[in-house]
Amino acid sequence: MITPALTGFATAFALILAIGAQNAFVLRQGLAGAHVFPLCLLCALSDAILITAGVLGFGAIVALYPMLPQIMAWGGAAFLLVYGALRLWAAWQGDYALQIAGQTAGLWATLATGAAFTWLNPHVYLDTLGLIGAISTQFTATGAKLAFGIGAVSASFVFFFSLGYGARLLAPVMTSARAWQLLDVLIGLVMWALAFKLLS
C-alpha cells in the first residue's frame, strides 16, 4: 500500500505546486495572518472532494458535457479579471494600514473568495477529476486505489497548511506598505495572466 499512497501524494503535490490564483490567495492571507486555518481547511477539503470523485471514476462526467470546460473557463476568467483588478486598484491606492496590522476581510468573505478560487477554476477539475482520476486507474485493487486516494488527499492538506502557515516566515518582510503594494501588483498581474490563459 506504500507505493500507491506515495504515487498519489507525489501526483497531487506536483499538480497543486504550480503557482495559481488559489495559492496566491492563500499566501496573501498567510502573510496577513488572517483566517489561515479555515481557509486552508476549505481548500484542502475541496480538493479532497474532487480527488475522491476523480478516483471513484466521475471524471467521465466531464466527457459527457463537452461545453462544461468552456463554461467554467469563462466564469473563472471573469472572476480572475475582477479580482486582479481589485488587487491592482489596492496597490494603486497604497493604503495598507489594516494589512500591516494583520486585519483583512471578514471570515465569510475570505471563505467565499477562497471557494471561488477553488470551484471556478476549470484546471482544478482537469487535475483532480481528469489527471488524478486517470492515474488512479493503474491501481485496480480496492485497497491500492484507496491508498492512492488517501495519499493524494494528504498532499493537499500538507501543501495548503504549509503554504498558509509557512507564509508567516515572510512576515518580517511585509511590515511596510511598499511590500504589500508590490505583492498586490504581482498577484494582480498573475490573476490577469491566468485569466487570459483561460480565454486563449
**Which pTM does this prediction carry?**
0.73
| pLDDT for the residue numbered 191 | 72
Domain count, the chain: 1
Round to whole Å and give the CA distance between 100 and 196.
31
| pLDDT for the residue numbered 7 | 86
Domain that holds residue 38: 2-199
The grid coordinates of residue 154 equal 494528504
Mean pLDDT by 10 residues, the chain (200 residues): 87 74 85 91 94 77 67 74 82 67 76 90 77 76 89 94 87 71 80 77
| pLDDT for the residue numbered 153 | 95
Q: Among candidates 3, 130, 6, 25, which has minimal Cα distance to 68? A: 130
